[in-house]
Amino acid sequence: MPKTILLAWIAIAMLSFGAKAQQQEPWNSNQLVRPSDLAAKIQKGQADNLLIVNIGPDAVIKGSVDIGPGQDAENIAKLKAHLKSVPKYKEVILYCGCCPFSKCPNIRPTFKTLAEMGFVNRKLLDIPKNIKVDWLDKGYPVNE
């Protein structure tokens, strides 16, 4: 009987650990940028040293470059080509905004690509809901 209980606890621990390992994101909390912080930099004219890259359906953030959805291989190739001459220490902020951040199919492949290319100052705009709610509805700066 005690052996059965011990085995059950070990199985539960392994399942719990496996679930956490599957949820591991390719970024850490220090690599997330709040929309309000990026908007403030843009509004104050302090975004010249940033490269803001849209990897979703449309580049709406002021000064951002449109690469296209990051889930598509041709857009990953486009991203690599665009970043080829960019210094590896440059702050690169990726954003999508197509859907809730946790379900976005575009941010993970592009963020991993930046890591593989050796970008040391890679960031991700933390858009919990979507670009409309977390950027447009707040009146943050947009491309014209």
Q: Identify the CATH homologous superfamily for domain 27-138.
A: Rhodanese-like domain (3.40.250.10)
Please tell me the number of Cα atoms within 13 Å of 60 on its side-chain side.
Answer: 18
Question: pLDDT tens, 47-85?
Answer: 999 999 999 999 999 999 999 999 999 999 999 999 999
Bridge-partner residues for 95, per DSSP? 54
- pTM score, whole prediction: 0.82
CA 25 to chain centre: 10
- Taken as a whole, the chain contains a residue count of 144
> What is the Cα–Cα distance from 123 to 27, expressed in whole angstroms?
8
The pLDDT value recorded for residue 23 is: 59
- Other beta carbons within 10 angstroms of residue 74's beta carbon come to 9
The pLDDT value recorded for residue 20 is: 43
Instruction: State the chain's maximal CA–CA distance in angstroms.
Output: 70
The pLDDT value recorded for residue 101 is: 80
The pLDDT value recorded for residue 6 is: 53
> What is the Cα–Cα distance from 113 to 133, expressed in whole angstroms?
27
> What is the Cα–Cα distance from 30 to 16, expressed in whole angstroms?
25
Predicted confidence (pLDDT) at residue 129 exceeds the cutoff of 50: yes
Q: What is the mean pLDDT of the chain?
A: 89
> What is the Cα–Cα distance from 86 to 18, expressed in whole angstroms?
37
The pLDDT value recorded for residue 2 is: 64
- Other beta carbons within 10 angstroms of residue 90's beta carbon come to 14
Average pLDDT over residues 121-141: 96
Average pLDDT over residues 13-28: 61
